Structure 1
């Protein structure tokens, strides 16, 4: 192990309490915004009140949402007019998105959303059920700054406003770099300054361990969770990925980058924030042993409410028979596949390319169980393409089962195996084998995406390069085809989307999510077929001539929501197999 840093950052909340309980501030009024949960903020307000200081401490993260949750009796509202900021240094919908999921929280009343100016305040005009009317201005503290890539962002920040007795002019009214912001910036500085090797991969595993106070709030809207711990994980992971992208000389969004495995592990603490960064050797046996600590229900696949263990996946594969084939991951784990020969047109079925998208693994196995009962079924199956990422996902879920954990998305090399185009192919070799054995012209590739809002609050809030993925918009389909295959692709998409419209509960689920998405992010950016968003594109990439990709908002869901997710994944495979039979080009 090589340690890059081990340091602590004074808790901003404690510093404010210490500062303003001094006699010189008695009788003062304090307003502060920081990245702390409501219980900690209220406790600090009480301590300040005991010292004769009137304090209101609010959340700097999603300030409008927390204003409504903490300071508005929403049940009394009949109508709300919300004017939100529009700033030249941010996307037009940025502050409307930061207000998500307000439209769902206020679903019982009329909500009018109006674009405002660059002033960083939301303005609320509330009409109450008794006819009363109130107006409120909610500050959204932000700062303009430049990131290590040289890009300018408008990002949420801490803020402190202090007014002495007898004065209407604040003695302090300025942005404040809170403990978590200082930690984030120090982590990037430390990693950037380290003497890394000249070539990829730069390390095996880069561990960023953080213990800090923060926000963890589960809302009453679906699976929406507001978590500063999760947000820091996401921002550290993608910021470091961008940093190594720049170091490598690769173009932005080149998913072939192989820096190594970046692992932010963010945990809740009541004490001063602590940052520890080290790079370490892989220890797959210890990681697998850690993962086995998670209990697993012994139920049929259709009843599974949580991601499967690797042992359960292997057992399911063993029950299917067929010709086994195997590739090896970077860390030495098996990428298990099977080939079942039959008289029908072959299809390749895969899941778990992005290992934190777990419903596709179950859906692929359930579909294979159904196909196994058909005498003429012809398919290759790889239910888990990225076992190293899956092991990391299981490790991280031990701390936060409801977080999306994008650090587990890619391989242990840090790349997306879909785009790995040079040997050694490691995990991708399984896909090569599946296509070669089956001769499949159709690949059904099961994916997922976040089931609740995805943010990067210290880098402009909206995840760069993933702007369309930040708010769930229901289940949708992506169809990619080679030149000359558009007719087959379009026919396949029409059949599959029509079949999926008959899955109980799916259309209502899609309608709810798409309606909420459109209130906060604008029109759905894809065509709608049979109640599902769909997109079709021609590509020049290796693989089958037609690839159908599912996108179900499964990251973080469990229970009945997870069961619906893998049922939809299974039904997609079965509908695609059926639709493909008259469309496949027979050898002639």
Structure 2
């Protein structure tokens, strides 16, 4: 087709249409290769081979107006980091389907231009023709699309050089230049690829066409220009350790200027920075000697690394023993009354059953030896789950061997206590939950059917009443019971926040029917909690409030507020499995939960109480529980580490010649500096990578005028929002000096990168006349490149044995080793580093697809030709089974031929650890208490979700960005986020008993016991803009339920758990404990779908790309052994069901094309979700 045959008067050839081809003349898409309307033919010239000409599908021109070239607007966001993105040379939607530039070569140095053109075509799913126009034929450069000016002897490049926008004259022989030039021709920028000579220009073309976005070595985990921009941003904005050290030195000089006239004779310098280099103290001292002009200087480096922070509170205590309290009361008040009396003793102690039995026997013998009647009786019930203990240890033995028709257990509804009627934290079913799962225990132990034990809720009367009938229905046993409890503040420090009832220990004794003692015995858990509330949390509170002058800033800006809070406790408590699924009795499990969630909640209340904003990311909270069985006193080791200042800062405390003292403090602020933009790079023939990189950063002022700005804002406001060019240049100088001194040598050092310059400009548009330039010599030492093969054991080779075990939870080192083994054994598996955690652990991912041998391939093409699914596990890292089942899923895709063939039609991405820090902590604690829930590993390292802040400029958790980057890299059809929850009842002894209580949200108590495998939310898009999404989501749901129900043991667990959840929740409180079922699987469906604005399936992903995203809940906290295999099997069924949905759908790539004045645009697209046969038939009818 001849595009120039159109009437030139029918369109403005200079019109700009930066949008998609909405106004272009589109034909209906076709699935036939090369069936692009407007494309006459394709000619392929093979070096050393034939020329092949393939006919297209040219059609006669249609009458009417013709639009201008699509995507011809100015590409103002283009820089060296965004070349192959829609901000750069490409255009269209999230999946690039357009090339928005024109290649404009000069007369020489352009032999590599075909590689650049080919790379553009590779990275996009669309192409605009003509793509190339020689510089000599370009007229009205300002009316052209953004131009890539390539090679030498290029008249347009010469114009830019003549106007001073680029400097070619400064280049040496064989040196190439790559530069983004804003407003090169009118409002249009240009991208220049040139050199001092043809060799240099060719080298620059090679860098852009072959290597970009990487600096040197290609690969997903190899350094990119974007990495340089991001790290430089962190440094200059005060977020990176070397940046804080460099800014600290700059601020120390400023303090020296302030004290220049003060006759300082001695000084103490405190510098508080994150992850301080060991050599920083000496360097600071040397600088302080110069800045202050004295030698009597003491330097302290306050390291804000949570793992290296200084101890601010530490103690080892032995708690008062409840066993000792019992014996003291018994000996002093009960034993003296024994002679000639019938003694009745009932005590309640939080001790193991065997110990309580032994104490009963010993106390009984002592009473008899003291002269008590042989009818004397001693009973010691458990203070933990008192009603359960009564039913199991008192009622059940009376029924042993009897014919029981029915056992009815009545519990009183739990309303707020009279002394605190406004209580919000209560749950109406507390007393029922305190006897969970007594019905199954009684049925098992008494040989009854489960339906012979039932519950009734009453509003008045005793807390518990049990009535037992015989086979005829006649009652033969009725008994009542009252738990012992006390009311205490939820937080001692915030007495008016909330009050809670806490079950407590007790001793009641009668002699001849007369009460001789009726006193509370503080249990060991209560003794600990009283101390924690009265001593530990107030000490932390005082530390935080003192550092922050009573107004700590919420969010993550000043976080964390302490380093590590570690509680290691040895306590004699019940700690055993019940033999009912994964249920346990373990008060120390409850203490772990209370310490973790209670401390997180404490900081939330602290922040809201002080300035209205909760303090998120408080710090590391590590409860280590060591249960024992001997009744001895509990011992507790508590350590809290923290920081010397509220935020990074330099503080100089001094004495002057007159003997007076003073202090000057300047913060090392984390600023709102804009992101640097890579604008210019130099390369050298024969040298890999970039020899030099120039980046622009917009700042606020030329000189540092902080003091004058304090008239208009507080010091903190000024420090955070106003950055000067003077400071930027100084910081770059300090970074160079730090590295030259051997400190932070790997910071801002990258393989394939030489020197750096930073253009600090105080104008909105790039302007060399409003600029100071900071430089950084190439004096760093890059950290070793990530190497996944280093994860392999020595001398390992694949022998066909199973790689992924389902016996124990998988910690990050083991899981990543499994990735490496699969990557080593199978060519379909590609392993790469995808990020790091807050504590510095490497995070890895793996792509599964048929082996690729090409040097370059395109994610955009890969995810267009085939659907893609991402499995991203272990966000909440004590939910252990997700890593196990996604890794096993990967292994089966590589080893099972029936599964392997699915990789031919679906791309699979495996990301086994989102929260590696939590996963490691949970595993370490599992090795101590394997049956506990271990919520200390649930969130990220600082008591906040590991994904929090991932969309921010400088997220405190580096791992929070990983999922977003996986999504933007692969643009998947489906994104999966499998989760878990406790495998047994959750107890929080000091939060009205039933878990979970987090941030005051008590409705989450419906997660408080095992309710089988379920989906907590099934979001879907229901919008005319996405007409097939709803049906696709419901089809996915059908695949899921079939997969889950295909496992008999999983099905049985589910039905057992759902029935239990009904009996202990939904039957009495259906508003909170809901049981929405779909095909015998609990799936919590929304009332209606979303419009797609929040992302496909509620996951926050663009529904144009991701049609559905889902999460699961498996009862896997903490699973191991056969139970791990059971819950992992459920997860694997889910994994495979969703893959099967994608595999079995009829995905088809559609090709379309359109004409514009002077050319054609062609593109390919795969409808998401896949179209049904009926839809395809309708489309064919429209076409015909």
Q: Aligned partners of 2:962 and 2:841: how far apart in 1?
A: 12
Q: CA offset at residue 359 of structure 1?
A: 0.8
Match of 2:500 among 146, 153, 156: 153
Alignment of 1:263-274 (within 5 A): 263-269=622-628, 270=630, 271-274=632-635
Q: Aligned partners of 1:435 and 1:139: how far apart in 2?
A: 55
Q: CA offset at residue 586 of structure 1?
A: 3.5
Tell me, yes or no, if structure 1 residue 314 matches structure 2 residue 816: yes
Structure with the bigger RCO (C-alpha within 8 Å, sep 6+) is: 1
Match of 2:360 among 42, 45, 60: 45
Higher mean displacement: 373-382 or 460-469: 373-382
Alignment of 1:329-344 (within 5 A): 329-340=837-848, 342=862, 343-344=865-866
Q: CA offset at residue 70 of structure 1?
A: 2.4
Query: Does the residue aligned with 2:414 lie in a helix, a strand or coil?
Result: coil
| Contact kept in structure 2, 1:120 and 1:141, CA below 8 Å | no
Equivalent position of 1:347 in the other structure: 869
Return closer, same or farther for 1:333/1:481 CA change in 2, 3 Å cut-off: farther
Query: Does the residue aligned with 1:418 lie in a helix, a strand or coil?
Result: coil
| Contact kept in structure 2, 1:403 and 1:556, CA below 8 Å | yes
Query: Does the residue aligned with 1:266 lie in a helix, a strand or coil?
Result: strand
Deviations 1:276-320 (Å, cap 9, x if unpaired)? Answer: 2112499xxxxxxxxx9xxxxx97256522112433312321214
Higher mean displacement: 401-410 or 46-55: 46-55
Match of 1:389 among 895, 918, 924: 918
Tell me, yes or no, if structure 1 residue 96 matches structure 2 residue 96: no
Tell me, yes or no, if structure 1 residue 260 matches structure 2 residue 619: yes
Q: Aligned partners of 1:379 and 1:328: how far apart in 2?
A: 22
Match of 1:166 among 507, 512, 524: 512
Equivalent position of 1:276 in the other structure: 637
Alignment of 1:514-525 (within 5 A): 514-523=1058-1067, 525=1074
Tell me, yes or no, if structure 1 residue 430 matches structure 2 residue 939: no
Query: Does the residue aligned with 1:112 lie in a helix, a strand or coil?
Result: strand
Match of 2:522 among 177, 191, 202: 177
Equivalent position of 2:336 in the other structure: 24
Gap runs ≥5 in structure 1: 283-291, 293-297
Return closer, same or farther for 1:88/1:243 CA change in 2, 3 Å cut-off: same
Return closer, same or farther for 1:325/1:398 CA change in 2, 3 Å cut-off: closer
Return closer, same or farther for 1:180/1:499 CA change in 2, 3 Å cut-off: closer
Q: CA offset at residue 200 of structure 1?
A: 2.1
Query: Does the residue aligned with 2:635 lie in a helix, a strand or coil?
Result: strand
Q: CA offset at residue 214 of structure 1?
A: 0.7
| Contact kept in structure 1, 2:874 and 2:882, CA below 8 Å | yes
| Contact kept in structure 2, 1:147 and 1:459, CA below 8 Å | yes
| Contact kept in structure 2, 1:393 and 1:408, CA below 8 Å | yes
Q: Aligned partners of 2:991 and 2:973: how far apart in 1?
A: 41
Aligned residues: 570
| Contact kept in structure 1, 2:948 and 2:960, CA below 8 Å | no
Higher mean displacement: 308-317 or 330-339: 308-317
Equivalent position of 2:409 in the other structure: 82
Return closer, same or farther for 1:436/1:340 CA change in 2, 3 Å cut-off: farther
Higher mean displacement: 109-118 or 32-41: 109-118
Query: Does the residue aligned with 1:32 lie in a helix, a strand or coil?
Result: strand
Higher mean displacement: 70-79 or 41-50: 70-79
Q: Aligned partners of 1:419 and 1:119: how far apart in 2?
A: 47
Match of 2:1013 among 455, 467, 475: 475
Return closer, same or farther for 1:84/1:24 CA change in 2, 3 Å cut-off: same
Deviations 1:207-247 (Å, cap 9, x if unpaired)? Answer: 01111111112112111111011111111211111101112
Q: CA offset at residue 336 of structure 1?
A: 0.9
Equivalent position of 1:403 in the other structure: 932
Equivalent position of 1:415 in the other structure: 944
Equivalent position of 1:142 in the other structure: 485
Match of 1:557 among 1114, 1119, 1133: 1119
Q: CA offset at residue 161 of structure 1?
A: 1.7
Tell me, yes or no, if structure 1 residue 461 matches structure 2 residue 993: yes
Query: Does the residue aligned with 2:1084 lie in a helix, a strand or coil?
Result: strand
Q: Aligned partners of 2:1056 and 2:313: how far apart in 1?
A: 47
Equivalent position of 2:763 in the other structure: none
Higher mean displacement: 62-71 or 550-559: 62-71
Query: Does the residue aligned with 1:419 lie in a helix, a strand or coil?
Result: coil
The alignment yields a C-alpha RMSD, in angstroms, of 2.9
Q: CA offset at residue 255 of structure 1?
A: 10
Query: Does the residue aligned with 1:331 lie in a helix, a strand or coil?
Result: coil
Q: Aligned partners of 1:455 and 1:299: how far apart in 2?
A: 41
| Contact kept in structure 1, 2:392 and 2:438, CA below 8 Å | no
| Contact kept in structure 2, 1:322 and 1:338, CA below 8 Å | yes
Q: TM-score, normalised by structure 2?
A: 0.46
Alignment of 1:575-586 (within 5 A): 575-580=1137-1142, 582=1145, 586=1166
Q: Aligned partners of 2:362 and 2:1102: how far apart in 1?
A: 65
Q: Aligned partners of 2:1131 and 2:407: how far apart in 1?
A: 39
Q: CA offset at residue 367 of structure 1?
A: 1.8
Return closer, same or farther for 1:328/1:347 CA change in 2, 3 Å cut-off: same
Q: CA offset at residue 568 of structure 1?
A: 1.6
| Contact kept in structure 1, 2:870 and 2:974, CA below 8 Å | yes
Match of 2:1130 among 568, 576, 580: 568
Q: CA offset at residue 450 of structure 1?
A: 0.9
Return closer, same or farther for 1:250/1:21 CA change in 2, 3 Å cut-off: closer
**Larger-gyration structure (1/2):** 2
Q: Aligned partners of 1:138 and 1:299: how far apart in 2?
A: 57
Query: Does the residue aligned with 1:15 lie in a helix, a strand or coil?
Result: helix
| Contact kept in structure 2, 1:21 and 1:48, CA below 8 Å | no
Q: CA offset at residue 65 of structure 1?
A: 2.0
Q: Aligned partners of 1:222 and 1:375: how far apart in 2?
A: 40
Q: Aligned partners of 1:323 and 1:41: how far apart in 2?
A: 55
Tell me, yes or no, if structure 1 residue 13 matches structure 2 residue 13: no
Q: Aligned partners of 2:358 and 2:831: how far apart in 1?
A: 63
Query: Does the residue aligned with 1:568 lie in a helix, a strand or coil?
Result: helix
Return closer, same or farther for 1:490/1:504 CA change in 2, 3 Å cut-off: same
Query: Does the residue aligned with 2:994 lie in a helix, a strand or coil?
Result: coil
Query: Does the residue aligned with 1:51 lie in a helix, a strand or coil?
Result: helix
Return closer, same or farther for 1:407/1:224 CA change in 2, 3 Å cut-off: same
Return closer, same or farther for 1:210/1:158 CA change in 2, 3 Å cut-off: same
Q: Aligned partners of 1:303 and 1:255: how far apart in 2?
A: 41
Return closer, same or farther for 1:92/1:565 CA change in 2, 3 Å cut-off: same
Q: Aligned partners of 2:501 and 2:460: how far apart in 1?
A: 12
